[in-house]
Amino acid sequence: MVSERLFRRVLVATAVAGLAAGGLAALTGRQHFAVLSWTIATVPVIGGLAAYIVRDLRSGRVGVDAIALLAMAGALALGQPLAGAVVALMYAGGNVLEDFAVARAEKSLRTLVDRAPRVAHRREGDSVNDVLVGDIAVGDGILVRRGEVVPLDGILVSETAVIDESPLTGEPLPVVRGKGAAVCSGVINTGDAFEMTATARAGDSTYAGIIRLVTAAQAAKTPFIRLVDRFALVFLPLTAMIAFVAWIISGDPMRSLAVFVSATPCPLILAAPIAFISGMALAARRGVLIKGSAAVEGLARTHTVLFDKTGTLTLGGARLLTIETAPDVSVDEVLQLGASIEQASHHVLAEVVVKAAVERGLQLKVPTAVREQVGSGLQGVIDGKLISIGSRDMIRAHGDATGWVARAARRAAWRSALIVFVAVEGHPIGALLLADELRPEASRAIRLLRDAGVARILMVTGDRAESAETIGAALDLDSILADRIPADKLDAVRIEQRLHSTTMVGDGINDAPALAAADVGIALGARGASASSEAADVVILADRLDRVGEAITIARRAHRIAIESIAVGMTLSGLAMLAATLGWLLPVPAALVQEGIDLTVILNALRALQPAHRWHRRVLPAGAGTELHHDHVALIRNLDRLRVIADALDDAAPESARSLLVEANRLVRQHVVAHERADETAVYPRIAPILVAEIGLSAMSRAHREILHLARLLERLVNDLPIEKLDRYLIRDGQRIVESIEQIVRIHTAQEEDIYEAISAA
C-alpha cells in the first residue's frame, strides 16, 4: 500500500513537471519542446493506469478508469498532448487526493496500532529490565511508569493506580483501580508508577485483539461499492456511444475527445469508500470499531435489533440493589458488618459487598476466628460479637424468621434478586439484595435506536422468563424471548433475517453464533477481546450500550453521503458530457471542469468524518455532569434511610413511630427539599438553553412541585402530632407520605440522570 501510494505521488510529480515545462516552452515559442514535455507527462500515467486496469480485469472487475485511459490515449493520438497532460494530472492528482482523504479518515483507527508499546519493564529480582513485549510470559512482574501505555493484560500488584481508559472506552475521566484489579493493555498510566502481574502474553492481550480487529476493519469491500464498480459496465459503453454521436454530429473527433475527458470519473467511484471509511473513523472516536465498510452498509440497512440480556442490557454480574434491615438497625451498620466479614472470603459475591461498603465510605473492621460454612455462609468475630453472613438457610438454622425477614425474601423474589442475610449472635439484623442491574444508559440506548429508524427491537436471553419480562417491560421492547440456549438464539436471528435486515447485540461466548449469523453482529467488548468480539462485525470498545444507536446513526449518515456523492458527481459529469457533445467544452477546459467535479465529490464524502450538525449541539462540561451525578448518589443514600423508616413504621410502637416520623421529616427538609430547590434555581436554568425543547424540563419542574407538596404535608403532620398516644391511622398516613416521597424522588432522579447523560460532553 505504501509503495503504491509512493508510485502515485511520483506520477503526479511527473505530470506536474511535464505540464509546467511544456507551458514554459510554449510561452517561449519552443512548441516542439512543449509537445514533447506534455507527452512525457502523459505517457507514464497511461502506463500506470493500464497496469491497474489489467489487475482489475484479472480479478473480474471492470472500472470506469478505462475512460481516463481512452481520454489520454486519444488526446495523444489526435495531436492534443496538452489535453492529455491535463487529464493525466487530473487522474494522478485525484488518486493522491484520495490517498490523503483515506489517510485522514483512517487516522483514528491507525492510531490504535501506532501507539502499541514495543517494550515492557520486567521485574527480575531487585532490578527492572527493558525487554520486548513479546518476551513477557504470564506471571511476570511488570512496572508501568507514569504516562506509559500498559503493554499487556494483568492484575494490579500496587495498592492503587490512576488510569486513563479513554483510548479503549472513550470515557474522559481517569479511574482509580485498587490492588487485585484487572488492568487491560492499551490504557495509559496517568498517576504514579505501579506494578502488575501479566495474565496474558502479548498476542493474547486485549490490545492485541483490538489491533487484529483494526486490521480486519480496513480490509473489506462492500456490495454497495461493487455495485459502483459494476456501474462501469453501463457507463463505459454509454460514454463511448455519446462520444461516437458527438463525432458523427460534428464530424470533429475533438468533440469525441472532449466527451471522454468530461466523463473521467476516477476519484468519483472512490466517494463511497471515502464516505464509509470516514464513518468508521468517526465511530472509532466514539469507541465503536466497525470491521470494514460492509458492516457500515449493514448497519445502515438495519430494521430489527436483537439484544442479549445479561451483560448487554444489564451490567452483568451481581450488584447491590438494596439493603433490608430489622427494626432500629441502620443500613450502614448492616453493610459495614457484612462487608467486614466478607473481606475474608474469596467468593465472587464477597467482592461485590466489600466494594459497595467502600463506595459508601464505611470503615471496615478486621474479623477474627473466621470460619466458612460451605454452601451457607461465613462467620467471624468483630468487637467480641459473632457476625454471620450467608443464605436464608443459615438464618433458619438459628430459628429466627421474623416478619421483616419474610418481607425481605418477598422483595428479593419480586426483583429476581439473591438475598444474603447478616446476623449478630445468631439474630438477623439485615439482608443484602444482590442482582444484575439494568444499565443506566439502557433506556437512552433504546430511544436512540427508535430515533435512528430501527422498527423492531427484541430481547433474546437464556435467563428466566420472569426476569426477562421485567427488563423488557422497563425498556418497552417489542418482544421478549426467554430461556433460549445459544442454538435458540441463532434460530431467532435467522427467523428475523427472513423478514428484514437484522442486527444482533451481545457480549458473551454464548452469543457468538448469533453474532456471526446476523447481518451485522455487535459485541460489547469493553472488558477485552473474546469469542463474541471475534465473531462480531462491530465491537463497542466503550462500556456503553447507547453507542449501538450512535453506530447505526453514523452508518446511515455515511451511507446517505456516499449515495449523495455518487448522484451529484454523475449528474455533473453527465452535464459536462452534454456540453462537450454540443461543442461548448473543448478537451482542455473539459478536463479542468471534471477535476472540479471530482474534488467536489471527494470533499462531500469527507463530511462523514464529522457528526451531523455538530456546531449546533451544546453540551454540559464533563465535570458538571459528574458533579450532578455525585449529588444524586448522596441523595440516594438518604432515600435508602427513608425506605428503612417507612418499613419500620409497619409495626412501630407509638413513641418509636414519633421519633421515626421526626427523623423522616428532618431528612426530607435537609436533603430532599434542599436538593430539589437547588435543582430548580441553579441546575435547570443552566441546562435549559442546552435542551432542544423545554417541555420535558417543565414536566420535571412539575415533579419538583409535587415533591415539595408532599414535604409540606409531612412537616405539617409531624408538627401536629398529638402529645398523647399516636393512633395507627395517623402512623399509616405518615408512612404513606414517606413512601410517596421516597418513590417519586427515586423515579425523578433517574429521569434527571437520563437528561444529564444526554447533554453531557462525551
Cα(364)–Cα(350) distance, integer angstroms: 13
The 10s digit of each residue's pLDDT in 15-61 is: 788 888 888 888 888 888 888 888 888 888 878 777 777 776 776 66
606 burial type by CB count under 10 A (0-12 exposed, 13-18 middle, 19+ buried): buried
The amino acid at 370: V
Q: Kindly state the average pLDDT of the residues 536-550.
A: 84
- Phi and psi dihedrals of 173, rounded to 5? -100, 140
**Residue bearing the bigger pLDDT, 252 or 135:** 135
What is the pLDDT at residue 727? Answer: 81
Length of the chain in residues, anyone? 762
pLDDT surpassing 60 at residue 406? yes
3-state secondary structure 595-645: HHHHHHHHHHHHHHHCCCCHHHCCCECHHHHHHHHHHHHHHHHHHHHHHHH
pTM of the full structure: 0.66
Closest residue by Cα to residue 592 from 90, 92, 256: 90
Mean pLDDT, the chain, rounded, equals 79
pLDDT surpassing 80 at residue 209? no
What is the pLDDT at residue 610? Answer: 82
What is the pLDDT at residue 638? Answer: 87
Confidence of residue 557 (pLDDT cuts 50, 70, 90): very high
Cα(254)–Cα(265) distance, integer angstroms: 19
Is 261 within 8 Å of 281 (Cβ atoms)?
A: no
Cα(307)–Cα(328) distance, integer angstroms: 43
**Residue bearing the bigger pLDDT, 319 or 189:** 189
User: In this predicted structure, which of 625-639, 661-675, 706-720 has the lowest mean pLDDT?
Assistant: 625-639
Is 234 within 8 Å of 269 (Cβ atoms)?
A: no
Q: Where are the beta strands (DSSP E) in 239-376?
A: 288-290, 304-307, 319-325, 368-373
What is the pLDDT at residue 215? Answer: 53
User: In this predicted structure, which of 403-412, 588-597, 628-637 has the lowest mean pLDDT?
Assistant: 588-597
Confidence of residue 170 (pLDDT cuts 50, 70, 90): very low
Within 10 A of 653 (CB to CB), how many other CB atoms are there?
A: 11
What is the pLDDT at residue 218? Answer: 45
Within 10 A of 686 (CB to CB), how many other CB atoms are there?
A: 12
Is 117 within 8 Å of 133 (Cβ atoms)?
A: yes
**Residue bearing the bigger pLDDT, 1 or 249:** 249
What is the pLDDT at residue 373? Answer: 65
Q: Is the dihedral of CA 73, 75, 80, 81 positive or negative?
A: negative
Cα(630)–Cα(626) distance, integer angstroms: 6
Query: Cα–chain-centroid distance for residue 725?
Result: 59
Q: How many CA atoms lie within 13 A of 414 on its CB side?
A: 8
**Residue bearing the bigger pLDDT, 97 or 285:** 285
- DSSP letters spanning 569-600: HHHHHHHHHHHHHTTSS-HHHHHHHHHHHHHH
Q: Kindly state the average pLDDT of the residues 547-571.
A: 88
Confidence of residue 197 (pLDDT cuts 50, 70, 90): very high
**Residue bearing the bigger pLDDT, 176 or 742:** 742
What pairs with residue 177 in β-bridges?
Answer: 161
Closest residue by Cα to residue 455 from 310, 558, 552: 552
Cα(209)–Cα(168) distance, integer angstroms: 12
Q: Kindly state the average pLDDT of the residues 410-439.
A: 82
Q: Kindly state the average pLDDT of the residues 393-418.
A: 71
Q: Where are the beta strands (DSSP E) in 398-507?
A: 418-424, 427-435, 456-460, 479-481, 502-506
**Residue bearing the bigger pLDDT, 191 or 374:** 191
What is the pLDDT at residue 613? Answer: 61
229 burial type by CB count under 10 A (0-12 exposed, 13-18 middle, 19+ buried): middle
Cα(54)–Cα(44) distance, integer angstroms: 15
What is the pLDDT at residue 13? Answer: 83
**Residue bearing the bigger pLDDT, 648 or 452:** 452
- The alpha helices in 286-401, defined as continuous H runs, are 293-300, 331-342, 348-359, 392-397
What is the pLDDT at residue 693? Answer: 54
What is the pLDDT at residue 111? Answer: 55
**Residue bearing the bigger pLDDT, 115 or 436:** 436
The 10s digit of each residue's pLDDT in 675-687 is: 988 888 888 888 7
Is 724 within 8 Å of 694 (Cβ atoms)?
A: no
Q: Which of 115-119, 334-338, 637-641 has the highest mean pLDDT?
A: 334-338
* Cell numbers found for residue 12: 503526479
Q: Name the 3-class secondary structure at 116.
A: coil
Between helix 65-77 and helix 81-114 the angle, nearest 10°, is 150
Long-range contacts of 463-472 (CB under 8 A, 24+ apart): 463/309, 463/310, 464/416, 466/416, 467/309, 467/416, 468/309, 470/415, 470/416, 471/309, 471/313, 471/314, 471/438
Cα(205)–Cα(247) distance, integer angstroms: 65
C-alpha pair distances (Å), 490 with each of 467, 519, 574, 693: 21, 12, 47, 42
Cα(263)–Cα(282) distance, integer angstroms: 32
Q: Name the 3-class secondary structure at 170.
A: coil
